């Protein structure tokens, strides 16, 4: 079965979610990934929405974090305050984020492009991104691969990754053993080198090359040894995605 870049990214994200764990998601690709994981290898995955839906059984793709479906047959219908408290107490294993810019250490900018005092573009800001990345155990970042997004230095630090390298998160007062886990793009999957905390290419997507990844990245890339090849979506994953998770193609209809 042929597949799109968006479908591949969703499948990559879903495979990172383990059964019996907790994941804080928003709408869009993160929600699709969590729904796919629940319907395949992680039936006991606990989904949490920022607006307060805890462990719902999602019948369809919600259109917002406050959509009534995010509370469908949920264990708890609570508030943003409680969800953020769960993160601070170390009860949330995964979260998904994106941004306008990312640097080699997984730090994110979603505030401004250009100088903060006189920006070229003003963006939505943190929302809950800083809180989630600070306190959830593993942050999964999903974004389109573009040299304007993958930069050596952020215009503004909205959300912490590994800050300036090994030990920097802990020195800033953030919990140990938390931080960015994977960066999933339309070209490859990155992990983070344990000695440098810099992004490195873990696997290339089918048909993609390291030259393409470097051309789309404004800093020198590191490469894992051995370098892997991202597994293609299986027919089962694609069928579930297309017929159960997003039959209306709200997400699948977007370009990768």
Task: Say which DSSP state 147 is in.
Answer: T
CA distance 13 to 230: 11
Distance CA 136, CA 25 (A): 12
Catalytic residues: 50
DSSP state of 243: I
How many Å apart are CA 181 and CA 138, to the nearest integer?
5
Q: Which residues, 6 or more positions from 108, have their beta carbon under 8 angstroms from its beta carbon?
A: 97, 98, 99, 101, 102, 129, 133, 141, 154, 157, 158, 159, 161
């Amino acid at each position: 079965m042929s597949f799109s870049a968006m479908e591949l990214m969703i499948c990559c994200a879903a495979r990172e979610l383990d059964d019996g764990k907790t994941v804080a998601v928003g709408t869009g690709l993160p929600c699709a990934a969590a729904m796919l994981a629940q319907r395949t290898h992680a039936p006991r995955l606990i989904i949490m929405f920022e607006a307060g839906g805890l462990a719902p059984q999602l019948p369809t793709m919600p259109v917002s974090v406050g959509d009534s479906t995010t509370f469908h047959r949920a264990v708890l219908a609570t508030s943003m305050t409680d969800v953020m408290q769960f993160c601070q107490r170390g009860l949330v294993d995964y979260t998904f984020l994106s941004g306008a810019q990312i640097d080699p250490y997984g730090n994110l900018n979603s505030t401004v492009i250009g100088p903060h005092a006189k920006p070229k573009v003003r963006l939505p800001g943190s929302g809950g991104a800083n809180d989630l990345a600070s306190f959830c155990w593993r942050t999964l970042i999903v974004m389109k691969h573009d040299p304007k997004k993958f930069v050596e230095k952020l215009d503004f630090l909205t959300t912490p990754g590994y800050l300036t390298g090994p030990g920097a998160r802990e020195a800033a007062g953030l919990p140990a053993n938390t931080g960015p886990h994977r960066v999933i793009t339309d070209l490859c999957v990155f992990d983070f080198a344990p000695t440098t905390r810099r992004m490195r290419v873990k696997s290339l997507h089918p048909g993609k090359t390291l030259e393409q990844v470097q051309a789309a990245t404004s800093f020198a890339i590191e490469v894992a040894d051995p370098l892997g090849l991202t597994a293609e979506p299986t027919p089962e994953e694609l069928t579930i995605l297309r017929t159960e998770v997003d039959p209306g193609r709200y997400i699948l209809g977007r370009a990768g």
